[in-house]
C-alpha cells in the first residue's frame, strides 16, 4: 500500500486528502485536512454478520486536546467523557452515513474520527464526514457514496454565501448551516440563523447542495489516483438479510387488521393494539419457523406497520390520529407553573408535554469549555432530559445520551439569536427542559416551553420563538408533507424536518431525510407549511404570556454592573482577595470583577446596594471641599492620619488639630478617635491634606500658658565645662 495524497482548492479554501500511511489495518483510513486542521477518520467493518434486526453502526469523535496544544484539566490530565461538541460532531457524521447503507446490512461498522491538529482557524467537524465517506470507499464497503458535509455561512454585510467559513468568518455571519448528502440529494441539515427568511434559507440549501457535489467529485478524483497507484479497489462481499417471500406473504395477509389497529389517536392504546396484533401474527408460525426466521419475522412485522401507516396517509389524506396533513394537535400552555424558581413554562401539544425551568446567575457561573475550538465558554445553556417514564417505559436514568444532547443543542440554537446582550442583561442563563410525555416533536415542544420560561422569568428576549416538526411520506408515487408529526410518523416516515423561528424568520433547522426523491420544491412547501404552523403555535403561546415580564422574579438574583477605573481593581480585590471576600461575606452579595473594570454585583434584597456602596467607597477619590467623619488610624510627630474611605487616609497636620499651638498630637487626639475633617488639598500623587472642623481649644500648657518656665541665666555666668570635666581641667597630652 503506497501513500497517496491530493491537495485541492474549493471556494477559496485549501483541502488535503491522504491515505496509505496511517492505520493500515483498518478497513479504510483517511487523513483529511482543511488548512492545517487535521483529522484521521477510520472505518472498521466486522468480519462476521451480527444476529440483529437493525444496522449496528457506531460513530465516535475522539477530541484530543493536544491538537490545540492544550493539556486537559483535572487530576488525571487525560481526556475523559466526550464533550458536548464531540458528541454533536459524531452525530453529524452518523446521520448522513447511516441511511446510505443497504437494507439488511448486519455487519458491525465502527467509524472513529480523531482530531490531530486544530489550527484555531478552520473548524474540524464538517470535513470528518468527507473523511468517513472516502474511508468507506477505499475499504470497498457497499454504501451510497461518495458523501460530503459542508457548512454554509453568509456575510452580514455583502450577503455572500461562504463555504466552510473560518471561525473569524463565522463571527460575521447571520447563518450557520450544515448540510450533508450526495451530489443528488440532501440527507442531513443542521442550522442556526439570525431570523433568516424561508427564501434565503432555501437559497442557502441549494448553494450547499452544489458545494456537496464539488467535494464528492474531489473524492472520486482521489479514488482514481489511488487505483492508479495501488490498483483497483476490491468491493467486499457482505451478506445481507434478504426478504423471505414466504414470510412476507404470510405476514402481509394481515394488512387490513394492521390498518385498523393503527387508526387510534391515543398513542398507548394504539401501541397496545399493534403489539397485540404482532404477537398474534407471530404465534401463527411454528417454533421451528420462528427459530429459522428469527430476524425475518420482526423485520416484516415492522414493514407491515410501515406500509399500512403510509398508505393510510397517501390514500385517505388522514393520519393515524385522524388529523389532516397540515393540522396541529391541540395545544395547552401554562406560565409560572412552579413557585420560587426564576421562571417556568409548561407546553403541551397532543401527547407531547415539556416543562422548562429557568435559572439565572452571575456571568462567572457561565459554562467553561475545555475543547479544541477557540471558545472559552457559553453564557446560555439549554439542557434537555428524556426520562423513560415520558413514554410509559422503565429504564436507566443517568448521563444524557447523544439524542438528548442533540435535542438540547437544537433548542439552544433556536433561542440564542433572540437573547439580550450581556451588557443589557448581565446574567448567565440556564434552561432545563424536562420531557413529561412524548409522542413526537419533543425538541420543538422544548423550544416553545423554554421560550415561555424565559418570558415568565423576565428575560427581555427580542421576539418569542416557536417550533414545529415536519414530516414527509412518499408512497406509490405520491408525496404528502405532514405538519406536527407524532412518533410513528417520525419512525416510519421519510423525513424529520424541525423548524424554529420568530415572526420575522428562522432561527434553527434540523432535518434527517431518508427519501432520495426529496426535491427543493418539496422543501419549499415544507418550509412554507412550517411557517404557517409556527405562527399558529406562537399565537397560542402569546395568548397566555404576551411577552417578557417587566422584571425578574423576587427569587432571582438582581444583578447590576458598575465600572471602576482599571487602576482600582487591585484595591477592590485586595491582597489575596481579602477585600472582595470581605464585601461578599458582610453583604451576602456576589461580586465579579472583570479586567476592563466592569464589576457585576448580584444578590437578593438590599445586598446588591450595600455591596455597590462598599465598592464605590473603595474607588472614590476624595475631592477638595468634601467633608468626612473619619477615624484616627495612626499618629506621628507631625500630625494624625485619618481614614476617610476604605483604603483612603488623609493627613491632619499638627497645626490643624486644634485652635492654638499644640506641642504633641496626643494631647488632643488618640488612635481610634472619630474626627470631622475637610479636604483642603489633593496633590498630584494623590496625597490628601485635611483640616479639622470644629477645632477644640488647645490645652493651656500646650500653648505655653500654664507650665512654669525655668529662669534663664546669662551665658557669661555659666561655667564653661567640657564632657568629663568634673570641674577640673584635664591637661593636654603632648606627643614628643
Residues belonging to the binding site for Mg(2+) are: 490, 496
Q: Are 499 and 483 in contact (CB under 8 A)?
A: no
Q: Cell numbers at residue 299, please?
A: 423485520
Our CA angle for 503, 508, 511, nearest 5°, is: 125
Contact 469, 500 (CB under 8 A): no
Q: Are 59 and 97 in contact (CB under 8 A)?
A: yes
- When computed from its CA atoms, the radius of gyration of the chain, rounded to whole angstroms, is 38
SS3 9: strand
Extract the runs of DSSP E, i.e. beta strands, from 319-385: 331-335, 343-349, 352-361, 367-368, 377-378, 380-385
- DSSP letter string over 162-173? EES--HHHHHTE
Residue 23, all three cell numbers? 492505520
* Rounded Cα distance, 178 and 201, in Å: 12
| Nearest by Cα to 23 from 62, 55, 50, 68 | 62
Contacts of 194 (CB under 8 A, 6+ apart): 174, 175, 417, 505, 507
CA pair distance 459, 552, nearest whole angstrom:
7
Instruction: Show binding-site residues.
Output: 490, 496
Which residues make beta-bridge pairs with 472? 481, 495
Residues belonging to the chain:
736
Is the separation of the CB atoms in 470 and 524 below 8 Å? Answer: no
If we measure between CA atoms, which residue out of 145, 126, 91 comes closest to residue 15? 126
What ranges in 499-556 are assigned the alpha helix state H? Answer: 520-544
Name every residue whose Cβ is closer than 8 Å to that of residue 256 and which is 6 or more positions away in sequence: none
Residue with cell 488618640: 670
Q: Report the greatest alpha carbon distance in the chain.
A: 149
Q: Which three cell numbers stand for residue 224?
A: 482514481
- Inter-axis angle of helices 84-97 and 125-138, to 10 degrees? 40
Q: How far apart are CA 422 and CA 401, in angstroms?
A: 31
Amino acid at each position: 500500500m503506497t501513500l497517496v495524497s491530493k491537495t485541492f482548492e474549493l471556494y477559496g479554501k485549501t483541502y488535503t486528502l491522504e491515505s496509505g500511511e496511517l492505520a493500515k489495518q483498518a478497513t479504510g483510513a483517511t487523513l483529511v485536512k482543511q488548512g492545517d486542521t487535521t483529522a484521521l477518520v477510520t472505518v472498521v467493518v466486522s468480519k462476521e454478520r451480527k444476529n440483529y434486526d437493525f444496522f449496528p453502526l457506531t460513530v465516535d469523535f475522539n477530541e484530543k486536546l493536544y491538537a490545540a496544544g492544550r493539556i486537559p484539566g483535572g487530576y488525571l490530565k487525560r481526556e475523559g467523557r466526550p464533550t458536548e461538541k464531540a458528541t454533536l460532531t459524531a452525530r453529524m457524521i452518523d446521520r448522513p452515513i447511516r441511511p446510505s447503507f443497504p437494507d439488511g446490512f448486519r455487519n458491525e461498522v465502527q467509524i472513529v474520527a480523531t482530531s490531530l491538529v486544530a489550527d484555531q482557524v478552520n473548524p474540524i467537524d464538517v470535513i470528518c464526514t468527507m473523511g468517513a465517506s472516502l474511508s468507506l470507499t477505499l475499504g470497498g464497503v457497499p454504501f451510497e457514496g461518495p458523501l460530503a458535509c459542508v457548512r454554509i455561512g453568509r456575510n452580514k454585510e455583502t450577503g455572500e454565501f461562504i463555504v466552510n467559513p473560518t471561525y473569524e468568518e463565522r463571527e460575521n455571519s447571520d447563518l450557520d448551516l450544515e448540510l450533508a448528502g450526495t451530489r443528488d440529494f440532501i440527507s442531513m441539515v443542521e442550522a442556526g440563523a439570525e431570523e433568516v427568511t424561508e427564501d434565503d434559507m432555501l437559497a442557502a440549501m441549494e448553494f450547499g447542495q452544489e458545494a456537496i457535489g464539488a467535494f464528492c467529485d474531489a473524492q472520486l478524483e482521489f479514488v482514481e489516483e489511488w487505483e492508479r497507484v495501488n490498483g483497483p479497489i476490491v468491493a467486499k462481499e457482505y451478506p445481507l438479510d434478504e426478504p423471505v417471500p414466504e414470510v412476507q406473504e404470510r405476514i402481509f395477509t394481515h394488512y387490513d387488521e394492521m390498518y385498523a389497529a393503527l387508526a387510534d389517536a391515543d398513542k398507548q392504546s394504539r401501541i397496545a393494539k399493534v403489539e397485540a396484533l404482532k404477537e398474534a401474527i407471530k404465534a401463527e408460525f411454528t417454533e421451528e419457523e420462528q427459530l429459522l426466521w428469527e430476524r425475518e419475522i420482526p423485520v416484516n412485522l415492522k414493514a407491515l406497520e410501515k406500509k399500512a401507516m403510509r398508505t393510510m396517509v397517501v390514500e385517505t389524506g388522514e393520519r393515524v390520529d385522524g388529523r389532516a396533513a397540515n393540522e396541529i394537535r391541540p395545544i395547552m400552555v401554562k406560565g409560572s407553573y412552579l413557585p420560587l424558581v426564576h421562571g417556568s413554562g409548561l407546553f403541551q401539544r397532543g401527547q407531547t408535554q415539556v416543562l422548562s425551568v429557568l435559572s439565572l446567575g452571575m456571568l462567572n457561573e457561565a459554562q467553561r469549555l475545555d475543547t479544541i475550538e477557540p471558545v472559552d465558554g457559553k453564557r446560555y445553556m439549554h439542557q434537555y432530559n428524556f426520562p423513560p417514564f415520558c413514554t410509559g417505559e422503565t429504564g436507566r436514568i443517568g448521563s444524557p445520551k447523544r439524542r438528548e444532547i442533540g435535542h438540547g443543542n437544537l433548542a439552544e440554537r433556536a433561542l440564542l439569536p433572540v437573547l439580550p446582550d450581556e451588557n443589557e442583561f448581565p446574567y448567565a442563563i440556564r434552561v432545563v427542559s424536562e420531557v413529561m410525555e412524548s409522542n413526537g416533536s419533543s425538541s420543538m415542544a422544548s423550544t416553545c416551553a423554554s421560550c415561555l420560561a424565559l418570558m415568565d422569568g423576565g428575560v427581555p428576549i427580542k421576539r418569542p420563538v416557536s417550533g414545529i416538526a415536519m414530516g414527509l411520506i412518499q408512497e406509490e408515487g405520491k408525496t404528502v408533507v405532514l405538519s406536527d408529526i407524532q412518533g410513528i410518523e417520525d419512525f416510519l416516515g421519510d423525513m424529520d424536518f424541525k423548524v424554529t423561528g420568530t415572526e420575522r424568520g428562522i432561527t434553527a433547522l434540523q432535518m434527517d431525510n431518508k427519501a432520495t426523491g426529496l426535491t427543493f420544491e418539496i422543501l419549499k412547501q415544507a418550509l412554507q407549511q412550517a411557517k404557517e404552523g409556527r405562527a399558529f403555535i406562537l399565537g397560542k403561546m402569546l395568548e397566555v404570556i404576551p411577552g417578557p415580564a417587566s422584571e425578574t422574579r423576587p427569587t432571582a438574583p438582581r444583578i447590576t454592573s458598575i465600572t471602576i477605573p482599571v487602576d482600582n481593581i487591585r484595591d477592590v480585590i485586595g491582597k489575596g482577595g481579602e477585600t472582595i471576600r470581605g464585601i461578599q461575606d458582610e453583604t451576602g452579595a456576589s461580586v465579579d470583577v472583570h479586567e476592563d473594570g466592569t464589576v457585576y454585583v448580584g444578590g437578593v434584597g438590599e445586598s446588591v446596594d450595600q455591596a455597590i456602596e462598599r465598592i464605590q467607597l473603595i474607588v472614590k477619590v476624595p475631592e477638595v471641599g468634601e467633608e468626612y467623619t473619619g477615624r484616627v488610624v495612626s499618629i506621628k510627630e507631625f500630625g494624625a492620619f485619618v481614614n476617610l474611605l476604605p483604603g483612603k487616609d488623609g493627613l491632619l497636620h499638627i497645626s490643624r488639630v486644634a485652635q492654638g499651638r499644640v506641642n504633641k498630637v496626643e494631647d488632643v487626639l488618640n488612635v481610634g478617635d472619630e474626627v470631622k475633617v475637610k479636604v483642603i488639598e489633593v496633590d498630584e500623587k494623590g496625597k490628601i491634606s485635611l483640616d479639622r472642623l470644629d477645632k477644640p481649644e488647645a490645652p493651656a500648657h500646650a500653648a505655653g500658658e500654664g507650665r512654669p518656665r525655668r529662669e534663664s541665666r546669662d551665658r557669661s555666668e555659666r561655667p564653661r565645662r567640657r564632657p568629663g570635666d568634673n570641674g577640673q581641667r584635664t591637661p593636654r597630652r603632648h606627643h614628643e
